[in-house]
Chain A
């Protein structure tokens, strides 16, 4: 699934999906707001293009691109973000913590960095089963000093587990610049645990795809974990609340400099213009179908607030005695 057309299509779809989601947020349809991944699309696209369908992915709060690139139904993903019953998590995961087990996405935990150790557990299990599956774990630059992440690295390397760790270094953890947060380096943290670690240009989907392909092959053939630091940039704020609360944590000109290497343009330049136009039109149609599907979904009923709490056993008692 890695022709220039397919890669461009995915990047274009993610870009338009995120733009449309910002509009839906501003219209009040996405109560949570979103953490847009605009500017980072080549990372999700290139990484997922290197994965087989049965490979398992752990996402993040900025993960809509991961879901789309992994092949999830965009209408179902958008419905989930809108909190509707026809979302894949029946509205209970939302934009921030979704899962799609039908596409092997095992949640996006809100405890930043903890997915690294969860990923090690998944990888240990699939390695023991001999399935040949690889686990792909995303996190951001903000996660790289979280203790549990480093504990995960230790386990993955100690036992040479089939996991690829991908750090989406978009230069900021909310308002904190990476250079002010990280002693040493991101790749140094992988190397400290004996994990082969590489810094990658995250704006070119081909370099992302190539690096991820190597790392996935290493994992799949028993060569153990890898750490890929994808250098990228988010064009918008940490979260859509920044449309209302203006925070000036970025130096003047920084955004413009990054936009000169726009992942969408880089991928588009590899596709003949006529095909690109056709792809763009298709993307708009598919996107509109997704929006219609999501908006048509049922809103949830407060009477069902505790459904899915347990697989069996207690019906939680109400807050008020009968």
Chain B
């Protein structure tokens, strides 16, 4: 059975979709040398008309993608560093994602924004480790964060095929993950569909991105003592609320393990909705980065800012008290 890495899964999905659909093209910086490796081999395979090397002008080329999308193409815009999504946040959330509504349904903007190295980077300074997925979800932009190679493959395919803007976060810490797969079994995965990595009856741990592996490790460590259900939403927005409600009907206890900042983040949304609508036998808890976290200024400081397994263990014990 072949071992497929997360990075190779992105490359495979994108390449297959570009073969299948001539309207799909990629654009970004350093595409000619495939600096991120997501488009490795693409320039030779597809030519410079489908792999666009963009000068440093992210706002301009994000808008460029919007224009090409309205004219019938399916752009995949690659960004190398997470903060660039903040730079182009307006072009995505206030333009691309609103044009359908503003045109009364006359147009759609089928752009995929790919951030294939999301999350913290050690020692790159304080501007390279942001996790803005909550911001996109807050603005109502379809947003996904697959945690495994098969999910990365499936969600990138779906994102490209979706007729609306979709932001795809591929966690940096997941890129090297490897999974045994049958290529024939790789399929598109719908938006808004969660998966359970572990089923359990005592507590539901909602984990995203690279934190899924940590949650699984903690669940396995506690096996025998505590029955932990590891819930991976895969899709930040739309979110699989029905599946979460079903999980909480079983466990009644919620811990959210989220790599975003605390204030008004993904974790907050989970807790608020669970409290309003779902079965809880104990107050829910979340583990997040602190408010105003500025990760990356120094490797020695980062452990004070990033969610870790010890915090998850503590939180599970607290909700079980």
Contacts and interface: CB of A to CB of B under 8 A. Distances in A.
Contacts of B164: 310-313
Contacts of B60: 117, 120, 147-148, 150-152, 154-155
B49 A128 contact: yes
Contacts of A312: 162-164
A171 B277 CA distance: 56
Interface string B99-116: 111111111100000000
B61 A155 contact: yes
A56 to B, nearest CB: 8
Contact of A107 (B72, B75, B103, B105): B103
Contacts of B59: 114, 117, 147-148, 151
Interface string B59-97: 111111111111111010000000000000011001100
Interface magnitude class on chain B? 35 or more
Interface stretch (A31-39, A88-96, A218-226, A255-263): A88-96
B192 interface: yes
B298 interface: no
B273 interface: yes
B189 to A, nearest CB: 13
- Among A88, A99, A310, A321, find the residue whose CB has the most chain B CB atoms closer than 10 A: A310
Interface in B170-200: 191-192
A125 B73 contact: yes
Given A308-B100, A311-B164, A152 B63 contact: yes
Contact of A109 (B57, B95, B273): B95
B142 interface: yes
Contacts of A126: 71
B106 A89 contact: yes
Contacts of A307: 101, 105
Given A125-B72, A310-B164, A312-B164, A118 B238 contact: no
Contacts of B105: 90, 307-308
A67 to B, nearest CB: 13
A93 B57 contact: no
B276 interface: yes
B57 A154 contact: yes
Nearest to B103: A99
B169 interface: no
A155 B101 contact: no
B67 A101 contact: no
B133 interface: no
A155 B58 CA distance: 11
A129 B164 CA distance: 22
A23 to B, nearest CB: 25
B257 interface: no
Nearest to B73: A125
Contacts of B63: 114, 117-118, 120-121, 148, 151-152
9 contacts: A87-B104, A92-B101, A99-B99, A110-B94, A111-B91, A120-B64, A122-B67, A128-B49, A311-B100
Given A122-B70, A155-B64, 20 more contacts: A90-B105, A92-B101, A92-B104, A107-B103, A111-B95, A117-B57, A117-B63, A125-B68, A147-B59, A148-B59, A154-B55, A154-B60, A155-B57, A158-B55, A308-B100, A312-B162, A313-B164, A314-B142, A314-B238, A321-B273
